[in-house]
Structures are given as C-alpha cells and as structure tokens.
C-alpha cells in the first residue's frame, strides 16, 4: 500500500469514529460500507479481466517450433539489429523471370535485371557488396595481378564490448563484412575487415594449443594496452607487430570452399611484418570451424576489380 493511501485510510477511520456518536453517524458508516463493497467488486472485475486476457494470449500464441528462425547469435548479446534467418536456406533458387540461378540474398537478377525479394533479407556488407558467387575477380598485388573466381561467400558480423571484462557481453556493431573463398591458379581467401582488404594465399589449420603457444599471450598484452601498445612477437622466422584484435561471428555463408559455417564465433588477431600480413582465427571450442592461421597481403579496395552488378 502506498503511503498516501495509508494516510487516507487513517483519516477516513478517524472521521468515521468521530462521527459515530452524532446524528449522521449511521449514514456515514453506511456510505463507507457501500463504497467498500463497490471497491471490492471492481477489484474482482479487474482480476477476472486480467485472467481472461492471459488466457486469450495463451490460446492464440502459435506453437514455437513450427518455423522458428535460427538464432546464430550469442544469447547474452543485446543486438542493434536481428538477423532473421530460416533454419534451412534453399540453395537451388531460380529467377522467376528468366530462370537464371540466384542466391538467397540476391536482390537483383544479374542476367535479366529483375528486382527480386531475397529469401534472406540481410543488410549488405559494408564493402564488396556486388562481389557475388561465380563472379571473376582480379586482385592487384605489388608482385602482380591474380585472377580468381568467387566460389564461396561468408558474411561476418563485427562484435564489440562496451568495456573490457569477462562479464561484459559482446554485442553486434551492426557492421557486416564479407569474406570470399576464391579459386584460381591457387585458392585464396579475400577478406574485408573494417576499411582493410586482404588477400590470403596461404592458410593452415591449427589447434587451440598452437594458438595458445604462439599468439594468445601477445593478444592479451595488446588487449591490456587497449590496442595502443607496440606488441611484437616472433613467428615462422619473422618478427610481427600486432595491429588489431577483436571478435566476429559468421552470420551467413553460401557457395563452396569456405573454411567456416554459420554461427561460428572467432577471436581474431591481425599482425604485420614488412609487406606480409598475418591473420589468426581462434574459433570457440565446439563451433563449426577450425582455428586457422592465414598469411598474405593487404590491398586497397581499388585493387579489387570485378564486374559491377546488383
């Protein structure tokens, strides 16, 4: 009971006791009795209405298992936006106008130009949104040009922590970046992260112990300096300087040749040594990906050429 209500009841009580011996005493007591009865009835009605509302909601809520969207997010995260992905994504989609093969995220048919309603409505990646499965792509390196074809595409969500600490949840920044499995004379992994672009031509699978021994202590030191300190470490006969650490999650994949699956969440680090770039992906145990060490080169967005479209 609120304090004012309590005070009102006390005042009403004093009032009733004071008026009891007077001529209008019985009338005031009668009025109080009627008011109390009316108040009681309305409280009962409110209660019945609440129970009915709850029952209606219970009856009309559809069973949750019919077409529940797959949640690829860590449950602790508060999300700036939600990815509403179906559990099973169809792979053999055709353009309704011309019959050309299209992907589940295709918004515009590349062959006939029809505007389509994509099966999965994800935001476009920040960069390289027009680079899709099957397209040819030329990457200019200092050593020369490389020609590839896109075999697979992954969309990676950028995660961040408001403050450092084990109990602070990792949340989406809202940025999606794209990674591409490429085939060519050699296979390669083309990756955009923030405003940086990488062509990794060497990748090897490693285990948790390997990551622990070679990289984790340095990543930790770099994190403790809020990524401001100069942290160097030896690896494969070179000295590397750490440039970035963070966390990402694979939100969507399509095509072939990718080393990750939807839902996989990684800690990563980037380091550089002269012209060479190193990227380490440390996937959570039990996730749908293996830890990997990548080596390659950084390029500019203008060094990546492909046919425009969609």
DSSP string, 223-275: HHTTT-S--EEEETTEEEEEEEEEEEEEEEEEES--SB-TT-EEEEEEEEETT
Q: Rounded to the nearest whole angstrom, what is the least distance from the CB of residue 177 to Zn ion in the complex?
A: 28
Q: Rounded to the nearest whole angstrom, what is the least distance from the CB of residue 101 to Zn ion in the complex?
A: 10
Q: Rounded to the nearest whole angstrom, what is the least distance from the CB of residue 131 to Zn ion in the complex?
A: 19
109 vs 264 by CB, closer to Zn ion: 109
Q: Are 150 and 133 in contact (CB under 8 A)?
A: yes
The 68-97 contact track toward Zn ion, x by CB under 5 A, reads ---------------------------x-x
Q: Is 98 in the site for Zn ion (CB under 5 A)?
A: yes
Q: Residue 176 belongs to what H/E stretch? A: strand 170-184
Tokens of 260: 């990750």
135 vs 140 by CB, closer to Zn ion: 135
Q: Residue 16 belongs to what H/E stretch? A: helix 3-19
CA distance 42 to 264: 55
100 vs 288 by CB, closer to Zn ion: 100
Please tell me the total number of residues recorded for the chain in this structure.
310
Q: Is 111 in the site for Zn ion (CB under 5 A)?
A: yes
Interface region with Zn ion, contact rule CB under 5 A, candidates 4-12, 13-21, 108-116, 275-283: 108-116
CA distance 110 to 114: 8
Q: Rounded to the nearest whole angstrom, what is the least distance from the CB of residue 89 to Zn ion in the complex?
A: 20
**Rounded to a whole number, what is the largest CA-CA distance in the chain?**
110
CA distance 93 to 100: 8
Q: Under rule CB under 5 A, how many of the chain's residues touch Zn ion? A: 8
Q: Rounded to the nearest whole angstrom, what is the least distance from the CB of residue 102 to Zn ion in the complex?
A: 7
Interface region with Zn ion, contact rule CB under 5 A, candidates 71-79, 111-119, 163-171, 244-252: 111-119
CA distance 252 to 85: 9
Place of tokens 């053999």: 92
Q: What is the DSSP letter of 284?
A: P
Q: Rounded to the nearest whole angstrom, what is the least distance from the CB of residue 115 to Zn ion in the complex?
A: 10
Interface residue with Zn ion among 101, 114, 194, 241 (CB under 5 A) is 114
Footprint of Zn ion (CB under 5 A): 95, 97-98, 100, 109, 111-112, 114
């Amino acid at each position: 009971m609120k304090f004012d209500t309590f005070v009102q009841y006390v005042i009403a009580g004093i009032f009733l006791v004071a008026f009891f011996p007077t001529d209008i005493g019985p009338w005031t007591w009668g009025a109080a009795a009627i008011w109390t009865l009316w108040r009681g009835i309305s409280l009962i009605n409110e209660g019945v209405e609440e129970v009915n509302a709850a029952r209606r909601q219970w009856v009309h809520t559809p069973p949750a298992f019919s077409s529940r969207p797959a949640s690829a997010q860590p449950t602790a995260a508060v999300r700036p936006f939600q990815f509403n992905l179906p559990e099973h994504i169809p792979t053999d989609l055709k353009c309704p106008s011309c019959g050309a093969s299209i992907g589940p995220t295709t918004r515009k048919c590349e062959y006939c130009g029809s505007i389509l309603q994509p099966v999965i409505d994800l935001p476009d990646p920040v960069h390289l949104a027009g680079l899709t499965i099957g397209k040819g792509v030329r990457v200019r390196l200092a050593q020369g040009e490389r020609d590839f074809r896109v075999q697979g595409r992954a969309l990676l969500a950028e995660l961040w922590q408001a403050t450092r600490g084990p109990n602070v949840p990792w949340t989406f920044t809202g940025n999606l970046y794209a990674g591409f499995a490429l085939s060519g004379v050699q296979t390669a992994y083309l990756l955009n992260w923030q405003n940086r672009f990488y062509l990794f031509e060497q990748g090897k699978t490693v285990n948790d112990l390997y990551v622990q021994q070679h990289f984790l202590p340095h990543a930790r030191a770099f994190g403790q300096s809020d990524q401001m300190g100069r942290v160097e470490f030896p690896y494969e006969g070179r000295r590397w300087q750490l440039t970035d650490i963070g966390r990402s999650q694979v939100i969507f994949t399509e095509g072939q040749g990718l080393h990750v699956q939807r839902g996989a969440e990684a800690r990563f680090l980037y380091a550089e040594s002269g012209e060479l770039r190193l990227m380490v992906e440390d996937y959570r145990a039990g996730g749908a990906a293996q830890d990997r060490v990548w080596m390659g080169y950084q390029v500019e967005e203008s060094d990546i050429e492909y046919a425009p479209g969609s």
